Structure 1
Amino acid sequence: MRRRGRGAAVAVESLDWFVQLAESGTFTRASEELQVSQQTLSSRLAALERELDTRLVVRSNPLALTRSGETFLAYAIEQRDARIRMLRQLGETSIGGAGVLKVGVSNVRGRLLLPNILRQFHESLPNVAVKVIEGANEELVRLAEAHEADVVIARFDGAAGDVEVHPLYEEEVVLVATPAVLGAALGVAPEEAAARAPELGLEALGACPFLLEPVDDISGRIAHAELRRAGIRPRALVEGNDMITLLHLAHDGLGAAFCPTLVLEEMPQVADGLVRVGLSPAARYRISLGTPAGIGPWSARSVFEDIAGALYGA
């Protein structure tokens, strides 16, 4: 039987699997992302190396690419991006435009921003579907870096160079609580606590019961850093991933919550009755729109960016 060798075309799926393996760094992580067994992935790589008649990967932990592997990775990424451009252009030329716009956003930010954005988006492009991909901030940044989302709403500090970042608005995490909760922590009347709140520092509130998010997203990470900075070992009355739930609990007087200003602005009915305590400058950050670089123009993505900027841009 004649060997196919280096002149043969490589299957699209093999290209995608190899890119995922190279970006993940281990067979374990790559197989989880691809939702295949490690044995299947290893067999596919071995078949690809036989097909190309060259070794692509040094099977270490983390794995390393050979020189041929680095060359093939650049080719595979180029082919993936070209395929994405082709599919989008085909959608652009169909009647009225078509396709699927993949939007990455956190659960809370999506609930607050997307209804207004998508209402106008579908008025402009009724034939373009939207797939919303939710995740923590680091997961969303990786989506943009891996070209697995068309536009991502996230904090992009330190993002890779293959992501185009367009600033959207400034956000800040503050501590919120009812006057009664602050008053109990300070040993004063609620009215006095509310009056003193703008000048309070977090270090004065060590006796507060806190409602905390974990450290795997922006507001939770900032909250824990601010507590450490203030020298507070918090009494966490409630811990959970849902900021909206924690804010409702703070409104009901259960404790003090760390909350992005966006949530307070978009939920005035819950924010009413809560007082804010400012934190350090490290609690301020920028939320941006991130798009994969080098993909080329696409009207659906541009329309989404324009609407988001008009509604929420600084």
Structure 2
Amino acid sequence: MAITLLQYEIFRAVVDSGSFTKAGDKLGLSQSAVSHAIKGLEAELNLTLLHRGRSGISLTSEGEVMIDYARQILNLAEEMKQEAGRLNGLEVGTLRIGTFPSVSAYLLPSVLEKFHAAYPGIHVEFHEGGYMELKQMVSSNIIDIGFLTSDDAGNLDFIPLFEDYLQVILPGNHPLRTKKQISVRDIASYPFIMPKGGCDDLIKQLFARHHLKPKVYCEIADNQAIIAMVQKNLGISIIPELVAHGHHDGLSRARLKEECFRTVGLALPAHKQVSPAVSAFITLTKSVVGDHKSRWS
């Protein structure tokens, strides 16, 4: 019996979800159909691919090797489908993208709106995570392309989009509110709300370079929660320009005197030939960034 693409797809879904049931729900199959497909794949390869236990599903050492091949096969099949659609004058297929929270909230909606309008036949799946998680997902071909920073892209191919400068946010009645630029030395004198995840490494390095220690009131991961805490006069904070842009009642903004920024861009598996869907997404994202950048400052 020959191995089918569906078996590879089921294998990938089981690995990614960690469950036969969840994989079946995603693919519209029963749990028994999923189990039968995996057993058939293992029989055809003469390998045990998955450990099945009370704690869940995990890959065997042989499965770790085979899942990489399965992903490559499915990616090539998807690229072939997209290329055939392009040759027929149709844009079809699936695009899997990864994003971190600030891009999800402030950039991605505009990108997806225009992308769906231009390419209604392409289904978009997106995964949100931290920098390291996204890097791993791109490297493992779990996603086709991901938003990342240049510092975190490592050996992936990286397409820079914009420099996202850090800005100071403070209550509207704060003594420093009239300053157009605020230094980290000024900030160190007041209660500070430290972002948790994302830009926290940049901020901590900034204070360390100037031999300063902020008076951390609390650490918060959610950007909107940070803004709300500042609005309630519980401290000041430093967040990316992408997050800080727009009008927030009871909030003042200022440039950080010691300029500091992250370079946000798109990361792809190293030296990978991109599919038509990925190529279209890159082009459209660059266009949206160009349209929006002037509004963020």
The TM-score normalised by the length of structure 1 is 0.66
- What's the secondary structure of 2:200's corresponding residue? helix
Q: Which has the larger radius of gyration?
A: 1
Is residue 289 from structure 1 mapped to residue 262 from structure 2 by the alignment?
A: no
Is residue 198 from structure 1 mapped to residue 181 from structure 2 by the alignment?
A: yes
- Structure 2, gaps ≥5 residues long: 22-36, 51-58
* 1:113-147 CA distance string (max 9 Å, x none): 12322232233222223223222222222221122
Would you tell me which structure has more strand in proportion to its own residues?
Answer: 2
1:138-287 equivalent positions in 2, closer than 5 A: 138-159=132-153, 161=155, 163-178=156-171, 180-181=173-174, 183=175, 194-195=178-179, 198=181, 200=183, 202-214=184-196, 217-228=197-208, 229-236=211-218, 239-265=219-245, 267=246, 269-270=247-248, 273-276=251-254, 278=256, 280=258, 283-287=260-264
Give the stretch that moved more between structures: 77-86 or 164-173: 77-86
Is residue 97 from structure 1 mapped to residue 91 from structure 2 by the alignment?
A: yes
Shift of 1:169: 0.8
Contact 1:227/1:233 (8 A) holds in 2: no
Query: Cα 1:298–1:78, aligned 2, differ >3 Å: closer, same or farther?
Result: closer
- What's the secondary structure of 2:162's corresponding residue? strand
Contact 1:102/1:149 (8 A) holds in 2: yes
| Aligned-partner Cα distance in 2 for 1:225–1:31 | 37
Query: Cα 1:82–1:118, aligned 2, differ >3 Å: closer, same or farther?
Result: closer
Is residue 301 from structure 1 mapped to residue 295 from structure 2 by the alignment?
A: no
Residue 101 of structure 2, aligned match among 101, 107, 124:
107
Contact 2:78/2:94 (8 A) holds in 1: no
Q: What CA RMSD, in Å, does the superposition of the two structures yield over aligned residues?
A: 4.2
Cross-structure match for 1:35:
19
Contact 1:212/1:258 (8 A) holds in 2: yes
**For residue 109 of structure 2, what is the amino acid of its counterpart?**
P
Shift of 1:167: 0.9
* 1:187-236 CA distance string (max 9 Å, x none): xxx5xx633x6253x2343342222332xx32233334444552235222
Q: Number of paired residues?
A: 272
Cross-structure match for 2:73:
79
- Structure 1, gaps ≥5 residues long: 1-7, 21-29, 38-43, 58-62, 184-189
Runs (4+) of structure 1 exceeding 4 A deviation are 8-20, 30-33, 44-57, 63-66, 72-78
- What's the secondary structure of 2:181's corresponding residue? helix
Determine what percentage of the aligned residue pairs are the same residue.
18
